[in-house]
Amino acid sequence: MKKIYSTLLICGLLTFSACTGDLDQMPNTETTSADVYTTAANYQAVLAKLYASYVIAGQQKGGGNADISSNSGYDYMRCYINMQECGTDEMACTWLEGDKVKDLTYLSWDANDPWVEDTYYRIYQTIAYCNEFLRNATDNVISKFSDTDQTTIKQYRSEARFLRALAYYHAMDLYRNIPFVTEKDPVGAYTPPRYTSSQIFDYIESELKDIESTLPYRTTVTYGHASKAAAWTLLAKMYLNAKIYTGTEHYTDCITYCEKVIGDGYSLDADYAKLFNADNDKRTDEIIFAFNVDADHTMSWGATTYLVCGEVSNTSDYENPADYGVTSGWSMFRSRGELSGLFADGDKRAMFFTKGQTKMLDTTIDDPTAGYLVTKWTNLTDAGQAASNSGSSGVNTDFPVFRLADVYLMLAESVLRGGTGSSKGEALKYVNYIRERAYGSTTGDVSESDLTTDFILNERGRELYWECTRRTDLIRFGNFTTNDYLWQWKGGVKAGQAVDDKYNIYPIPAAELSANPNLHNDNY
């Protein structure tokens, strides 16, 4: 597979460092920025590092020669998967103590939780990378290059701003009120101010609107790079959740940007399963933006390697790891019964291995035989062959960050919540497109009377499970911490229980609070 990160020098042109309380470091290497930003080709290599920062943890295979020190040493996406999925009705973790995900699972974390801390610093590492790139990509700095090279670097500049906006979106969604730093701030001993969630929202919105005209359309974008549609989809996601972030609804704006994406010519891929296999870089009809994962160039023990190997059991007497293109399973997690219970007969999205497994978690949440095994993610090519030796090299399956089915569901939900610019009839059409793919016919079609917000939440679960949307969705529907919706082991008890509403937001790590007096946590 051709991957964008093949341009990345694994040993790195730049190795950045970050430390507690100083989120905007200069590169801590013998090679300085002045040495690096000398050719357009070098800008391309550093841009590749910005993209790769979401899926690798260091400069060597599996995270060796780490970019930053962390509790686990794992990459951004392994952190993000845990933060978005572990505590929800979708995922049951097996290795609660060994992987230190017990508190995430039971919604009982604090400001010293290792995953809360690692995710925070991974996000700000990416933001720091983008800031440093942008400092060296101003009009004044690049004026020394040819007109052609300047045009190319300006394109890279827009992509770096998109990647920074995405990281800030994750920070806002997870932590809400956060430190804010850009390329315009001083380098070195600088204490970033605390921005409210509303301020961060406004900043991301302005950045994405400013760069949308300079990003390419889907027909001209290089695979793995950000397009206009990627920026539009991120705006739509922000607008869908705007009431949570700012207190103000933006459902009409969500519809507007969903319509922009739909109008850019995307269509649902015919085969749902192939969206999550090792040849999913071919699914550009539906996948709007993906993080590239490659066993040669971006190998880590996180991202989709975590999902593919993690879903395969190492204790089952029945499941064969080779069926998923891996040499062994990690037995990291299973589905909760509430997830598998969402599916009706005939729905091909119900991708579960059930033999030897119980549906519900009636013993303990970490019993490896409790909960069906998920089979959605694989390291198999379209031809059914293993794409890499995942025993030592990770997988070749990209992570679809944004795809059209999500856009259809965002539009439908926004219509039901009172947004204008579309209609319930159009929303129904898009929902039934999704369901017709799922069933292979019209037998799963729903009517307008079926189209409710509760139906949309369930349909998002069926369509998007284990794609890092569930926590955000449950919070938007008021279900994550409350008694309105309980699932087994929510709050640490078998029957499920409500938890403090403070768990809708992760705390700023305690060490960061000590270093930055501008920051504080509410209720922690």
User: Distance between CA 37 and CA 39 in Å, rounded?
Assistant: 6
DSSP 8-state code for residue 5: G
Summarised one tens digit per residue, pLDDT across range 102-155 is 999 999 999 999 999 999 999 999 999 999 999 999 999 999 999 999 999 999
Q: How far is CA 31 from CA 13, 17, 68, 106, in A?
A: 8, 13, 17, 45
Mean pLDDT value across residues 230-246? 98
Reference 365, options 497, 504, 493, 503; nearest CA is 493
Summarised one tens digit per residue, pLDDT across range 286-308 is 999 999 998 877 767 778 999 99
pTM reported for the whole predicted model: 0.93
Q: Give the model's pLDDT for residue 379.
A: 95
Residues 6+ apart with CB under 8 A from 134: 157, 160, 161, 164, 182, 183
For 157, the 3-state DSSP assignment is helix
Summarised one tens digit per residue, pLDDT across range 59-105 is 656 556 666 777 776 899 999 999 999 999 999 999 999 999 999 99
Let me know the angle formed at the C-alpha of 166 by 59 and 292, rounded to the nearest 5 degrees.
45
The distance from CA 278 to its chain's CA centroid, rounded to whole angstroms, is: 18
Residues 6+ apart with CB under 8 A from 373: 311, 312, 313, 316, 319, 334, 335, 352, 353, 354, 357
Summarised one tens digit per residue, pLDDT across range 30-54 is 567 777 899 989 999 999 999 999 9
The distance from CA 378 to its chain's CA centroid, rounded to whole angstroms, is: 18
Count H helices and E strands in the chain, helices first. Answer: 19, 8
- Residues 302-327: b if buried by 16+ CB within 10 A, e if exposed: bbbbbbbbbbbbeebeebebeebbbb
Phi and psi for 296 in degrees, rounded to 5? -95, -40
Summarised one tens digit per residue, pLDDT across range 392-410 is 678 999 999 999 999 999 9
CA dihedral (415, 421, 423, 424) in degrees, to 10, reads: -10
Residue pair 466/275 in contact (Cβ under 8 Å)? The answer is: no
User: Distance between CA 125 and CA 484 in Å, rounded?
Assistant: 37
Asked if the model's pLDDT at residue 17 lies above 90, the reply is: no
Ordered by where they begin, the domains of the chain are: 7-271+284-289+400-524 (1.25.40.390)
Sequential DSSP letters for 304-346: HHHHHHHHS-SS-SS--GGGGT-S-----EEE-HHHHTTPPTT
The segment with the largest mean pLDDT, out of 187-196, 229-238, 286-295, is: 229-238
Summarised one tens digit per residue, pLDDT across range 323-348 is 999 998 999 999 999 999 999 999 99
CA dihedral (193, 199, 200, 203) in degrees, to 10, reads: -110
What percent of the chain clears pLDDT 70, i.e. is strictly above it?
91
